[in-house]
Structure 1
Amino acid sequence: MATVGRADYNRCHFSAQEDRMGNWLGRWRRALAKALAPDMVEGSELAAVQEQLAQSERRFHAVTDNLPVIITQFDLDGRFTFINKYIGTVLPQRPEELLGAKLREITGDALYESVSVHIDRAFQGHKVEFDICFPVGGVDRYFTGIYSPELDDTGAVVSVFALWHDITERKQSELRLRAITDNLPAVICYLDAELKIEFANATFTSWLGKSASTVVGCRLADLVNEFPDSPAAQGLMPFMLRALHGERVEFEFTTFVDNHERWLHYTVVPQFGQDGAVLGILALCADVSELKRVQRQLSELARFDELTGLPNRYQFNEKMAEAVQRLARASQPMGLLFLDVDHFKQINDTHGHAAGDEVLREFARRLLASVRATDTVARLAGDEFVIVLEAVADRAAMQRVADKILAAMLSPMLLPHGELRISSSIGGAFAESSKVEPRLLLDCADLALYDAKRAGRGTYRLRDYAAPQEITA
């Protein structure tokens, strides 16, 4: 019988790593009870076996009482049969005072009802893990609870072991992070390696019109498919896949919300594991619509003359470069007109700068009315204006445009102080060469303008543009 007793005792020494927590403590207790059965151990060895088992139990309690987790066991009636000392961080009673008490009696009805569904599943043989918050000393504490059923040799549930891990510090950090991200005016989300959403801030759910509970756990592809007509949504996947391959990606999309254009700027950053594999991606999307509108306004201010609304010298240089490139490709002639208002300084000196400004505005309006929509009218500075004539047929066509402008200036201008008659001198440069330098073409038109002024003003003169190599030849 002693041999049997020692064998049963030896079975107490099993590895917790090889058995689930829900079973190893139960096995240890059943083995203990079996080993101490009077008919299994000879009287001469009973004391030795009992001492060895007592030492084993002390070691067991030393381990469980020093773990930073609450470990309990309750039977099928919901009564505590084991509690470690860490329970003292939550309850004022000592563990031995709680043994035999029912779980509902200790937790109270409200807390018991919140965990009862998990207890029921554990009694059905399922391991359950969940997070819960309840007050301790008037302060909310957060715990991860694990219920693990103890099974007998037939597989029947005989009790449930509960492990409670205090995650208050981590949860508070998460809540602080959530408070920060939820108040940022940007979409923030985290997706795992399968592009399932694991985290989404309030801005994300607000933009989608969905609750966080319906978004978290969804596949990004499923959300994208809910917006088949949105280029911004449909264009996301290629960039997300690039991030999954380890690339940091930034891109922009424009979309329309309530008939208003919205610019979205995305930054997608991969998260790497210690082995270098991509674990998931962090995506941030900011609405930069207001910034784009300001940039557009600044661009317009940088490219347009505030007084007349015409392109300024900066945009004229851009338009001239584009026109020259098109000329080279199409091999079609182009022309440039350089104009000013005759005796403009005298108008300012006589009628004041406000009148002079109105003259320039009306001059610009008449120029626009005299040319094609494809031609570019720009104000360089003061009373100097230029007109880029693309795909002009010949010199006679330029003459017709100039005559139309001169005729438009014959009508008197209506100013606050009365009528004012003005005239304009026009110089033209005609280019047939496929190699045109914009600066030299402008110089050619400027020289023709001086020809017109020497001819008595209020007239038009034309010069042919010669490319630099043609001059040398």
Structure 2
Amino acid sequence: MNTIRRQIQSLLWPLAAIAAVTLMALWLRQHEVITSSPAVWLADGVCLAILMYRGRSGAAALVTGACCTIWLAGLAMGLSLGDSLVQALSDALEIGVALWALSKKDHATHLETPYGTKRFIIWALLVAPLLSSLVVLSWLVLIGQAHPWGTGGLRFVSHALGNALAVPCTMEVLRWRGAPALSRRRTRRCMQALVGLIAASAVAFAQPMLPVLFIIFPPLMLLAMTGNRRWVLAGMVAVAAVGAAMTLAGLGPIHHQAHFPTWNALLLQLFILSCMAVVLPLTASMEQRRKLSRTLRGSEARYRMLAEHSHDIVLLLDADGYCKYVSPAIQDMLGYPAGKMFESSLQSLVDDDSQATARDLWMQLLQGQPPATALLRMRHANGTYRIMEATGGLIDEEPDRVVLTLRDVTARIAAEEALRQERLMTDVTLQAIGDAVFTLDRHGKLEFANPAGKALLDRSVAPDEATLEQQLPLWREGRQMTDLHPACMVRKTGMPEGPYLCALELKDGTRHSIECSATPIHSSAGKVIGAVLVFRDVSAVLELSERMAHLAHFDALTGLPNRALLLERLDIALARAKQTAHHLAVLFIDLDRFKQINDTLGHGPGDELLQQVADRLQSVVKSGDTVARLGGDEFVVLLPELSGKADAAVAASKALELLSQPIRIGRRELQLSASIGVSLFPDDGDDADLLIRHADIAMYAAKRQGRNDHRFYTAAMEASAQKEFDLENALRFAVMRSELFLAFQPRVDMSSRKIISTEALMRWRRPDGEVCLPDEFIPIAEASGLILAMGSWALKEACRACKAWQNGPLQGVSVSVNISQVQFVRDNFLGFVMESLRETGLPPHLLELELTESMLMEPSEAIQQRIAGLSALGVKLSIDDFGTGFSSLAYLRRFAIDTLKIDRSFVMHMTEDPEDASVIHAIIALAISLGKRVVAEGVETMQQASQLAALGCHEMQGHWLGRPGSVEQLAMLAAGKTKTASFRSMRG
């Protein structure tokens, strides 16, 4: 919107000027100063001059406004509507043709050069008026007007003279500000020539002979050669005024030659305007060009001499970037002969990476901005590249010429970049280095300190002292270093000092171990002008070295000796025992169920528990004994002097008694137990590693026999350990070879007498055909970690089988899978269950997971969230072997448990033992009150089934109802094709 407003405002003054000229013509006609009807041709010339000055911007609007003004003026002069319209359209054609031929997109350059003047004469004074007059002539012939050829010819002459008069005058008015002023001497000569021209005009128009009018030309040419176009126009105005006045007074050859007033005016204008439009502008332009040529030749000679002797490359370029002059320096800098670079493009020398920079520089130069400078990467004749610093500007006398100088700064740029990189690396190093770096002058005063050095100075004991050795005093071997301070010594000796291991005293009274060194700074004359002092704090290094030495022999958590130190002490104790022939004992202690405590409470409380255990063990041994930690919850106690096996038993019992006492961890009070294995020298070995291994074997024997006890090593234990090792190794291969399979045992609903669920039981068929039951290999799998892979396989296989049998007689029968505690405590357990259901497509309500009471003994937030997630998923949960755990029954109310499975140990003797029957009755009553189902495991007889049914048990599982088998056997049992005695009795 603002752009349109500015364009409209820029057109107002040209239209006002055209209207003013038209009104002036009307006024002259009304007062009979000009009687010719086409007196408004001056408006055409004014409009053309304005457009030539402005360029073609807004030409359509300006020409339209001018033609409308001319059309209205024609109506005002008495022309008919058709005549005035034809007059306006022909004027538009005349302006358009002349504008198309003479104007450029920026500003007009005609009437300034001989060539431009010729184009102006041809197009503005001949072609354009002729075309517009032919249009008018055609109209006059069409309407049958008398004497059309005379009227058309008169119009052609009038418009040609109008353009010759209006265009130069208007152009000069528009350029009034830009023209330079003449000197006083030249102005005085112009005044003399003007007076002579006025006198010649008066003489010429005072006599009756027409040829005498040409006496005006000599003073007119003199004025043109002496002054400029303004003086020429002033002279023409004076000639016109004198000629018009004397012609109107009835004097002069024009008055005597003409037969009526119109011809008087026409002949006067023809003479005056022909002189102005042809002779004077042409003569003034030629003189101006001669003066400019002389100036340029002198300037060119001077600048050529400077360019040829310059070490920089000097280029003279035209507006398109082509070389018009190249100095000889280009041969040395870029390897190109100067003669061959003439008429070549500057762009061809610039590398692609610098093309954008070169274009920006070129645009700045062409726009006449202050001298610009840019770095250009230019090609050398040998294929390499040079960095050139380019600067230049426009030539005032030739606006289309650019002078550009190129200076080779490749070496300078490379040096600056290398220096910048070096300084940057130095600054970064000094800023980032942990050492304190100081620069001192020759008097020891501080000149520079990096951040680490400033940090030391902020903690100085004497920050106001003059020298650095006083600000940061050093101590060595218990004495302060004054004259021996490295900062002082290096200035005296001029030799490097150090590195020294010293102590630095700070204002807080602390002393830090530092490594100090100093290097002198010499002047070019070899004198010491300063020093560089470097302090490296090695306190942490020394402390770390001591700590590493400690950690190499002691446990980081408990501070007890580690395995390496234990072996050293055990070797020493064995050597002494062999010499003195006394006994030696090794106690291998492992905490029971520590992993469960660690997983439930977290590693922080677990570490605190280990520290308290270490303290208790140290309190129970004598000063010569050793308590060591091997890792995890494994401790070893070395008793180097014993009288016999009984002393070792007493020590083990004391350790068990002390560890069984409650331990408080935070707000919790925990009850611990431990398993201890004991090996003796010389009974169980005479080597350190052998004694520790035998004690470890005995410890595992204690765990297998109920924990919270100690066992002495026997040879049979090693055989059992070897058997377990072989079994674990075989089990690993069994997992790899897919030797595991699932057997399914039915669970029967006592109300419907139908199979409603099955329990997936894992079996192992060994390569020899023997089938191993879970009790033989599941404990080993849990201890070795194989239970994770086996449990994952069992869960997916059970889901896949349950999904498959939904299309047969087992439709609606769910499957239950036993979950190991190792599986259940994994963070990704819930995600794995969801993935198994998604892969197999089994609905969640057909899957039941059997947990043990021990998993819920210490319910953490993670376990609660895991059980809540399984319940929200729709998976059923049951408690396996219910009644045999150590936890309370509070979790039945806290967790979403669906089923309780009574352990087979209660069912086995319920018919003979009333206490077992009472326990089962209490469990069933509790489950019913809590809204949970009850499953009795291990039902072997009809008497057990009948008694359980009488007590209200919901479901039963056991050999009396169906043995574990394949899916096909289970389907046949559900379909009634294979009926056991129990099913016949139940259904019969």
Common fold: TM-score over 0.5 = no
Q: Specify which structure has the higher proportion of helix.
A: 2
RCO comparison, higher one (Cα < 8 Å, 6+) = 1
Q: Specify which structure has the higher proportion of strand.
A: 1
TM-score category of the 2 structures, normalised to the smaller one: 0.3 to 0.5
Structure number with bigger Rg: 2
Taking structure 2 as the reference length, what is the TM-score of the superposition?
A: 0.21
